[in-house]
Amino acid sequence: MSYQPTATSKNTRPLLRLEEATYGTPPPNGTWSHVGIATEFSWSKNRDLEELFMVSLLDRYGEYAFGTEYEFVLSYAMVDTKLFRYGSMLPAGTGTIAKGLSFLQSKLIDGVEKFRLFKGNITSELSCTYERILIVEQTFAPRSITHWLTQAELDTEIGATAQINPAALTEDPYLVLSSGNLDPLTINSLPIDIGEFELTIEWETIIWQPQNHIEPKFVGANRRTVNGSLMSTVKDNVIEDLTVNRNAVPMVLEISNAPGDNVDWTFSGVRFANYEVEDVADSDEFSTYTVEWGATGFTVQDVT
């Protein structure tokens, strides 16, 4: 048996995205865009199986497949806020979680370029750590994932004149040093030094799959929860008192990929919990605290 194995290096173009006008269907002959600087992605297909046993038989009588559950997980360095907003903003039409997304992968399979479509993607979780290069991990619940498609099969799916060769990315990623602002985080309008800052946004995804359907018919987003944690140096009682008193305060974190191109993560109704300080006899570090927080609101600007 002769064949050519594939590898990550055999991807023939960057991972691409396109908003769907009709859920679960890529618009025909659309213009596909970069997701950002994709660093890693993975996907899975899991069949919903049910076993049947029969009295008098020790082995299974049979095993039967019903629905299929899909997952698509993407990590990328941000160069804009487009894809990030699909996983963070409340549903409000185009550019938000109200719309499904299609993704397109192109790769050499046994030496021939093939294509895979991930359709009807709705974000179930988004996380990002504010350190060095801002890498976002975004998990999606797709409606469907195709097998490897030939060029002819892809043309049938997305149109023969679809634009799937966008200009090469030249933008710098969002970095912690890009804005030049030495105080990017403010809590209740007071600047707070950042040792660590983590953001997690989770959506309760709801799936409608009628009994006679192998794949979901619709995937939607229901409730949003915005949580995170931060670490800073001990210098006063501000965050400790906010934690004890459970005061709701605003919080803003400025991110950027170039001086002057600043973007604000704006949190409202932030309350703190689990404030922790540790002193260790042989420590060679300054005293720090860690604290968890939750917000009742979050927005980020639409930046291309």
Q: Give the percent of the chain with pLDDT over 70.
A: 100
pLDDT band at 178; cut points 50, 70, 90: confident
Q: What is the pTM of this model?
A: 0.94
Pairing of strands 112-129, 144-145: antiparallel
Is-contact 99 122, C-beta < 8 A? no
Distance CA 127, CA 142 (A): 18
* pLDDT tens, residue by residue, 33-82: 999 999 999 999 999 999 999 999 999 999 999 999 999 999 999 999 99
Is-contact 243 233, C-beta < 8 A? no
Q: What pLDDT, on the 0 to 100 scale, is given for residue 202? A: 98
Q: What pLDDT, on the 0 to 100 scale, is given for residue 65? A: 92
Give me the residues paired with residue 34 across strands. 16
